[in-house]
Structure 1
Amino acid sequence: MKKRNYFLFIYIFIALSIFLIKAQAAELKPFTTDGCSSFPDGSLEHKNLWLACCTAHDLAYWQGGTFKQREQADVDLKECVAKVGEKEIAILMLAGVRVGGTALLPTSFRWGYGWPYPKFYGELTAQERMQVENRLAEYANTEQN
C-alpha cells in the first residue's frame, strides 16, 4: 500500500509541476479586435456608431482578469453604446456579452482571449500585468503609424 501512495504522490507532483510551468509560461498574444464580434458595428445610417465601444470592450476581454472586472467591462460597454443614443441596442448587447463572453468556452471572443485557453477568472499576476503593459505599448505604436 505504501508503494502505491508513493507513486500517486510522484504522479501528482509531476502533473502539478507541468501545470505550474505551463501557467507561468503563458504568453499574451498581441491585441486584436473583431469589432462587435457577431453584432453590427453601428446602425444602417452610421456604420461604425458604437465600434469604439466594442473596441474598448475587446481590450478588457483580451487581457482578462477577475469576474468582477468582466462584469464592469460589460456594464461599460452598455453605458458607452447608450451614450451614442442607442439605449435599446445597449441592453441587447449587454445580454449578448453576458451569455457569450464567458471564460469557460474556447471562443475567440471569450474573457481573457489574449491568453492561451483555458484562462479563467482571477487577478493577473505581476508577470501577466507586465505582458499586458508591453502589448498595449506595442498596440499604441502600431495605431500611431
Structure 2
Amino acid sequence: MTLPALTEALELPLEIPHHERLAAQKTDPRNALAAFATDGCSGGLSAAWDAFASWIGEFRQVHGKLPPWQHCCVDHDRLYHAGGARDATPRESFDARRAADLALRQCVLSTGVERTPALAGEYGLSQGQVAALYRAIADLMYRSVRLGGIPCSALPWRWGYGWPHCD
C-alpha cells in the first residue's frame, strides 16, 4: 500500500463522522453561511510573522511583513470557510478538504519556486537548499491543516468554519 493510500485509510474512518455532523449543519435550513473572514495563515503564523518582521528590519526587507505565501492561506481559508458544497456528501466533503489542503501545499511550493533564485543569493545557499526549505514548510503546513482542520472541532480554522459550530 502506498503512503497516500495508507494515510487515507487511516484518515477517512476517523474523519467521516465529523463530515457527517458538518453535513447536518449545512443542510439544516435554520443555518446560514456566515460572511467570509480570514486570519491569513492560521495558527498564529501570520501574526507571528508580522511581529517578527516588525522587530527585525532586515527580515522585513527580504521577506515582507506577511508570509510570502499569505495569498495561499487566504485562498485556502475561502475553501475552508464554506466547507465544500452545501449538499456535499460526507465523502465529497472529505475529498474537497483534502484537495484544498493539497492546493495549499502546492501554492506554497510555487511561491518557493518564484523566490528561490533571490533567496539563494541573499543567504548564500544553493537553489536546491532553498527548494528543500520550501518543501519542508509546505509539508509542515499540509500536515498542520490535515491535523488541525477537521470539521466540527472547536478550532476557529476548522473545515466549514463559516457554518455554526456542530452540536
TM-score range, shorter chain: 0.5 to 0.7
SS of 2:45's partner is: coil
Identity of aligned residues (%): 39
TM-score normalized by the length of structure 1: 0.62
- Specify the alignment match of 2:163 in structure 1: 115
Stretch deviating more after TM superposition (70-79 or 104-113)? 104-113
Structure 1 residue identity aligned to 2:95:
K
Q: Please tell me whether residue 54 in structure 1 is matched to residue 92 in structure 2.
A: no
- Specify the alignment match of 1:143 in structure 2: none
TM-score normalized by the length of structure 2: 0.55
- Specify the alignment match of 2:101 in structure 1: 74
> Aligned partners of 1:39 and 1:80: how far apart in 2?
19
Moved over 2 A (4+): 39-45
- Specify the alignment match of 2:146 in structure 1: 98
Structure having the higher Rg: 1
> Aligned partners of 1:39 and 1:49: how far apart in 2?
15
Calculate the aligned-residue CA RMSD, in Å.
2.3
The aligned length equals: 100
> Aligned partners of 2:35 and 2:104: how far apart in 1?
22
SS of 2:28's partner is: helix
Structure 1, unaligned runs of 5 or more:
1-18, 120-145
- Specify the alignment match of 1:83 in structure 2: 110
> Aligned partners of 1:69 and 1:106: how far apart in 2?
20
Show CA shifts across 1:50-107 (max 9, x none).
Answer: 0000000000000002110000000000000011112210000001000000003122
Aligned-pair CA distance for 1:48:
3.0
Q: Please tell me whether residue 33 in structure 1 is matched to residue 38 in structure 2.
A: yes
Aligned-pair CA distance for 1:27:
1.1
> Aligned partners of 1:39 and 1:115: how far apart in 2?
22
